[in-house]
Amino acid sequence: MAGLSFDLIALQLFTGLALGAIYVLFAIGLSLIFGMLTVVNFAHGAFYMVGAYVGLFLLSMGSNFWLCIVAVPLIVGSVGMMVERFLVRPLYGRGVDYPLLLTFGLSYIMVELVRIAFGTSGYPFETPELLQGAVDIGVGYFPLYRLFVIGAAVVVLLGLWLFLERTSFGLIIRAGARDPQIVRVLGVDVSRVWLVVFGIGTAIAGLAGLLAAPLQGVIPEMGATILAEAFVVTVVGGMGSIGGAVIAGLLVGVVVSMTSLFAPEMAKVSIFALMAIVLLIRPQGFFGRAGLMS
Amino acid sequence: MTRTTKLISRRKLLATASAGAVLAASPFRINLAQAQEATIKVGFPVPLTGPYGTEAQDQVRAAEVAIAEFNEGGGLNGRKAELLVRDDKLNPGEAATRTLELIEKEKVSFIVGSLSAAVQLAVNNVTKERGIIFNSISQSDTINEVADFSKYTFHEALNPHMTAGAVGRYAFPKFGKKVAFLTADYAYGHEMVRGFQEAGKAFGVETLVDIRHPLGTTDFSTLLPRIQALKPDILCISNFGRDQQIALKQATDFGMKKSMKIVAPIVLYTGRVAAGAQAFEGVIGGTSYYWGIEDKIASAKAFNDRFRKLHGGKVPSDYGALGYGGVKTLLMGAKAAGSLDPDKVIAAVEALKYDYYKGPQYYRKCDHQSVQSVLIIESKVTPQKGDADVFNVIETEAPNETNLRTCQALGHKA
């Protein structure tokens, strides 16, 4: 192939990793909620979309992007906690399909509400001024904003890891995921733990939506496409494994990127081909525990 | 006794007769008669829901303007027109079903509408079979070709060959001959690329790469490094709607506008409004209509004013204006023919030389393609005349049959 240089391949690889960072950011919330609560959250895409719209609304009220980065996860996380408290909680202990159907319906309602409030045609979302333009990363020019998104993903992951591994609340969460009954016997209010986990998961989804908005603009249906891709990431990484979501997210990004270089029209299909191959070789995904769904 | 009875009966007879005469002259009876002679129904299948919903709603608004004008002008010998809107959901099957329903159940005289190459061909198949006149208001090259065309088919919209050709003829001499394409992988995208390449032959244009992406792509970042590495003079983005908005936004982020000129065969008014100035800055594209030409063209001013009056001060979009043109030409054809007989209306529409909203137009006889101007527009960085002031018209390619594919090339005999 003409024009195939080392720089191009390196840049393509980097582009894939950057794309993967976005997948990771979206998929870890999904994975967290599934891993801890065994809830397959089909409304995750809707929370992502709501994050973008909350950001849009705050900006129109005179807020700036940096304030949004703090406010959006708090607001979307609060909505998520209400959803857990009043809608998801009554369904615990009834198997995966009940919360799955609930969140599926919920996502439709959320999208419809946003359509009523903001219209169907979508809005522009300008890249924050400080992060506009591209910088030379050695092998070529790369948008500053995408570098920022990679940084944000790393910060979120680091924060989540510290919270789960280094705080006593994180210890309770991990224990609660393993054996809720014993934790309850020890006097811990497990329902409060699940409330917080659901809140954190949806807060990350909201943040991901806000960060994606300057990349692609804002429409009510923006959560739908990425949800399908995020499920591929969680399945490849292993349902419920956060580490798996990180590795698989980056891998999916790179696979899409490299396919795009040689056969762009196959890029979308390559995601699902990857999933099929992984499932054939390792049905529970990279780091998945077998039997979690049953 | 007998005399009086006779007298009374004669009086009765007179009274009844005069009452009848009064009734015959009263407006009440005229209404009755008119009710029997039904309205002229125009079926309007458009994708009200789905990704092109915004465009479709604007098409309906503009079509309503055409209907209102026709009715105010006395209709066809007093017969008023009526618009029957149906949602085709941007789905060829759905569109065919709705069209059939409009023809069989509602007994429409005309079908105008559809907004996608595949959908309009599905509608055209139905209208062709049933002998109902169809005026398409969406771009397609094949609808003019012999295989899809019938005498009942009209095409008010531009077609990809005309649009891409006009943009190419403007851009190639100014910005360079090395061209890269980023193309939506379906009929529309392929036809646009072909249009650019045909126009490019005259300028010795070289295609460096044609990258095809699936419809509904939300991240183009992985496609852009290769285009950058090839260092084209011009990047042609041949996709539509939201794909185009995202592609332009991300190309801007990658700093591609610094090293190459970005052009698009169609730049939409609604797309520019939805994606904002940043993404579209410096992008050059083609369009069939922009409301801003009202400064120079009287019919545009008249159309915009009527639209604004009927729709709370809004201005019509490009595809919206096609809804107006599509309905108006058929109704004026019917008026000129003085009949709804398809053959007479077809002959009348073929003979029209019209200027309804954008300057002079006419339908070429062999393929019923509306020969019309193509506007070359550039996105404004800062609007001066309100939020709707988004484009500069930088050139107008006058209506010219030589910019169309020839009748022979389309497979027509004439």
- Name beta bridge partners: B178: B206
Q: Which residues of A touch B278 (CB under 8 A)?
A: 124, 126-127
Mean pLDDT of A232-243: 90
Mean pLDDT of B268-280: 88
Confidence grade of residue A182 (pLDDT, cut at 50, 70, 90): confident
Q: pLDDT value at position B327?
A: 97
- Calculate the average pLDDT of chain B: 90
> Higher-confidence residue: A40 or B26?
A40
Show the DSSP H helices in B318-396 as ranges: 318-337, 342-351
Nearest-10 Cα torsion for A64, A68, A69, A75: 170
DSSP secondary structure of B231-290? --SEEEEE--HHHHHHHHHHHHHTTGGGTSEEEEEE--HHHHHHH-HHHHTT-EEEES--
Is the distance from CB of A18 to CB of A150 less than 8 angstroms? yes
What pLDDT, in 10s, does the model give residues B392-402? 999 999 999 99
Determine which of A6, A9, A15 to mutate to test the interface with B (most B C-beta atoms within 10 Å). Answer: A15
DSSP E strands, B69-142: 81-87, 110-113, 133-136
- The answer to whether residue B42 scores a pLDDT higher than 60 is yes
Q: Residue A215: closest CA among chain B residues belongs to which residue? A: B250
End-to-end CA distance of chain A: 48
* Interchain proximity B278–A11, CB inside 8 Å: no
What pLDDT, in 10s, does the model give residues A79-112? 999 999 999 999 988 888 999 999 999 999 999 9
What pLDDT, in 10s, does the model give residues A8-36? 999 999 999 999 999 999 999 999 999 88
Confidence grade of residue B14 (pLDDT, cut at 50, 70, 90): low
Determine which of B190, B212, B222 to mutate to test the interface with A (most A C-beta atoms within 10 Å). Answer: B222
Q: pLDDT value at position A174?
A: 84
Q: Which of A228, A194, A160 is nearest to A38 (CA)?
A: A194
Distance CA B88, CA B47 (A): 5
Is the distance from CB of A232 to CB of A275 less than 8 angstroms? yes
- Whole-angstrom CA distances from B180 to B211, B212, B267 are 8, 11, 18
Min Cα distance A211 → chain B (Å) is: 14
Flag whether residue A218 sits within 8 Å of chain B, measured between CB atoms: no
| Percentage of residues in chain A having pLDDT higher than 70 | 97
Q: pLDDT value at position A175?
A: 85
Q: pLDDT value at position B10?
A: 58
Q: Residue B211: closest CA among chain A residues belongs to which residue? A: A264
Flag whether residue A3 sits within 8 Å of chain B, measured between CB atoms: yes
Q: Which of B273, B286, B217, B274 is nearest to B250 (CA)?
A: B217
Flag whether residue A16 sits within 8 Å of chain B, measured between CB atoms: yes
CA B369 remoteness from chain centre = 12
- The answer to whether residue B182 scores a pLDDT higher than 80 is yes
Confidence grade of residue A184 (pLDDT, cut at 50, 70, 90): confident
Q: Which helix (H) or strand (E) holds A282?
A: none
What pLDDT, in 10s, does the model give residues B353-405? 999 999 999 999 999 999 999 999 999 888 777 788 999 999 999 999 999 99
Is the distance from CB of B390 to CB of B125 less than 8 angstroms? no
Q: pLDDT value at position B392?
A: 94
Q: pLDDT value at position B12?
A: 59
Q: pLDDT value at position A26?
A: 92
Is the distance from CB of B286 to CB of B377 less than 8 angstroms? yes
Q: Which helix (H) or strand (E) holds B88?
A: none
- The answer to whether residue A74 scores a pLDDT higher than 90 is yes
Q: pLDDT value at position A119?
A: 84
Min Cα distance B180 → chain A (Å) is: 13
What pLDDT, in 10s, does the model give residues B159-175? 999 999 999 999 999 99
Burial of A50 (0-12, 13-18, 19+ CB in 10 A): buried
Q: pLDDT value at position A141?
A: 87
Distance CA A82, CA B66 (A): 50
Mean pLDDT of B270-289: 90
Q: pLDDT value at position B4?
A: 46
What pLDDT, in 10s, does the model give residues B183-224? 999 888 999 999 999 999 999 999 999 999 988 888 999 999
Sign of CA dihedral B406, B407, B408, B414: negative
Q: pLDDT value at position B13?
A: 55
Burial of B173 (0-12, 13-18, 19+ CB in 10 A): exposed
Q: Which residues of B touch A22 (CB under 8 A)?
A: 219
* Interchain proximity A264–B54, CB inside 8 Å: no
- The answer to whether residue B5 scores a pLDDT higher than 60 is no
CA A276 remoteness from chain centre = 21
Confidence grade of residue B29 (pLDDT, cut at 50, 70, 90): very low
* Interchain proximity B221–A219, CB inside 8 Å: no
Distance CA B152, CA B131 (A): 6
CA A266 remoteness from chain centre = 24
| Percentage of residues in chain B having pLDDT higher than 70 | 91
Confidence grade of residue A173 (pLDDT, cut at 50, 70, 90): confident
Q: Which of B403, B404, B336 is nearest to B368 (CA)?
A: B404
Mean pLDDT of A233-240: 90
What letter represents residue A13's amino acid? L
> Higher-confidence residue: B31 or B1?
B31
Confidence grade of residue A52 (pLDDT, cut at 50, 70, 90): very high
Confidence grade of residue B9 (pLDDT, cut at 50, 70, 90): low
Which conformational region is residue A96 in: left (phi greater than 0), alpha (psi within -120 to 50 degrees), or beta?
Answer: alpha
Sorted by sequence, the CB contacts under 8 Å of residue A204 that are 6+ apart come out as A25, A28, A29, A32, A73, A156, A160
Q: pLDDT value at position A124?
A: 86
Distance CA B65, CA B73 (A): 12
Q: pLDDT value at position B1?
A: 41
Q: What is the pTM of this model?
A: 0.85
- Calculate the average pLDDT of chain A: 90
Q: Residue B209: closest CA among chain A residues belongs to which residue? A: A2
